[in-house]
Structure 1
Amino acid sequence: MPDRHSADPSPATVSSATMASASWLRETVEAMVEHHEGTGDLPPIVQLGHPALRMRAADVDGQLGDELLHRFLRLMRAVMHAAPGVGLAAPQLGIPLRMAVLEDLFEVSPEVAEVRERRPLGFFAALNPAYAARGTRRAAFYEGCLSFAGFQAVVDRPADIDARWEEPGGTRREAVFSGWQARIFQHETDHLNGVVYIDRALTRSLSTNANYLDRWVSPDVAAARAGLGF
């Protein structure tokens, strides 16, 4: 993973107020995008401890302009694919703006698809997203996060949500998401509120990726519940 470009200030020297300013956002995003376009290098995904992951991100309201916004969304999608992941929020690149990209076209077994209600989710960019539980149905499954590399934990979430967001062109969208699609939307929207999945996790379920793959990989979490006592 390449080093962060020299134009990106150190978190130790940048205040939260500075990070939220329109001028800092535009200058930092432009430098990041130009670095990628000039070298092909992808910026690293920031890890827990970076202040952008714990801020309430600023609403997207034209700070970047249309052209830079689309270039940044293309970069976010490239980072998500390379990770690989099914979603990426702007704070995960150190940019505290309320925007995320989502896409889940990975092949899974029929059993996993059924138990987790995992259906393909075509690519879209969500600006200023929000969600609310729809009904009382809940589901608990393991989640991981590109900003908390090497670990997974079980998160109990609403299984059905009412979601709303804006498209890059400004069109407002609403949808009902269920199952894994609802989980992805919640996970990425939470990032924009300074919430990482471990804040919501059943902490006794926390597992390294290696232990998860060796012991607990399963369509459901029944074996992990029994073995780890959560």
Structure 2
Amino acid sequence: MTQLLELALLGNPILRQSAQKVESIETPDVQQFIDRLIATAAASHGVGIAAPQARTSSRLFIVASRPNPRYPHAPEMEPTAMINPKILSWGDRVVKDWEGCLSVPGLRGLVPRHDEIEVEYRDRGGNLQHQILTGFVARIFQHELDHLDGILFIDRVETTRDLYSEAEYQRLLNLQQPFGGSQPK
């Protein structure tokens, strides 16, 4: 079984720093770290995880969307390592939707993000990948890219009224209330 990584939590200085470029992707250390990131995200019910969250200053993250208790409606995809990622262009449409973070436990927020982005990254084999991402997967990419630049989702909410406790978020989710609509009484 792959050993899980210890998460850096809100207040840890590494979460507020810019991460360093990954120079040697195919080394055994980097490959093992990728495997450990994937295992840690799965065990934590995350849909993504960035190297700084695992106390490592590297421009590397995993996007691993799949339905789980934290994101029951997430689309299914294979965990993908995205190394030295960047956004090349953004679509015009910005959507406000719910986000949480493994490094900010117990809190959710309504965060505005671009609904479509054109991205570039190296995969775990070192190959340059170019994609257009939309919807939830585009949101994950932007959230994880923020981690590489020392930005947390709580920095992106428009107002503190858009922050909810995890318990209240789960209650809303279980009531299947439309997010952003009227709140149950």
TM-score range, shorter chain: 0.7 to 0.9
CA contact (8 A) 1:160 1:177 kept: yes
What TM-score do the two structures reach when normalised by structure 1?
Answer: 0.71
2:113 is paired with a residue whose SS is: strand
Q: Is the 8 A contact 1:141 1:220 kept in 2?
A: no
User: Given the alignment, which residue of 16, 22, 38 partners 1:54?
Assistant: 16
Partner residue, 1:104: 65
Same amino acid, percent of matched pairs: 31
Give the aligned partner of residue 88 of structure 1. Answer: 49
Structure number with the higher helix fraction is 1
> 2 CA distance for matches of 1:65 and 1:162?
25
Match of 1:201, SS state, is coil
Please provide the CA RMSD for this pair: 2.4
Structure-2 residue corresponding to 1:206: 163
Task: Tell me the CA shift for residue 100 of structure 1.
Answer: 0.5
TM-score, normalisation: structure 2: 0.88
Q: Which runs of 5+ in 2 are unaligned?
A: none
Structure number with the bigger relative contact order (C-alpha 8 A, sep ≥ 6) is 2
**For residues 97 and 77 of structure 2, what CA distance do their matches in structure 1 show?**
18
Residue deviations 1:49-95, cap 9 Å, x none? 11111110000012x76111111111111100110111000000110
The letter for the 1-side match of 2:8 is: V
Question: For each residue in 1:124-177, what CA deviation from the matched residue of structure 2 results, as whole angstroms up to 9, or x when unmatched?
Answer: 100011114433111111100000000000001100001110112221111000
Aligned pairs (5 A) from 1:30-69: 40=3, 42-62=4-24, 66-69=27-30
Would the aligned equivalents of 1:58 and 1:98 in 2 still touch at CA under 8 Å?
Answer: yes
Candidates 79, 83, 87, aligned match of 1:127: 83
CA distance in 1, matches of 2:177, 2:101: 18
227 and 107 in structure 1: CA distance in 2 versus 1, 3 angstrom threshold: closer
1:85-117 superposed Cα distances (whole Å, 9 cap, x missing partner) = 110000001101100111112179xxx86xxxx
How many residues align structurally? 180
User: Based on CA coordinates, which of the two structures has the bigger radius of gyration?
Assistant: 1
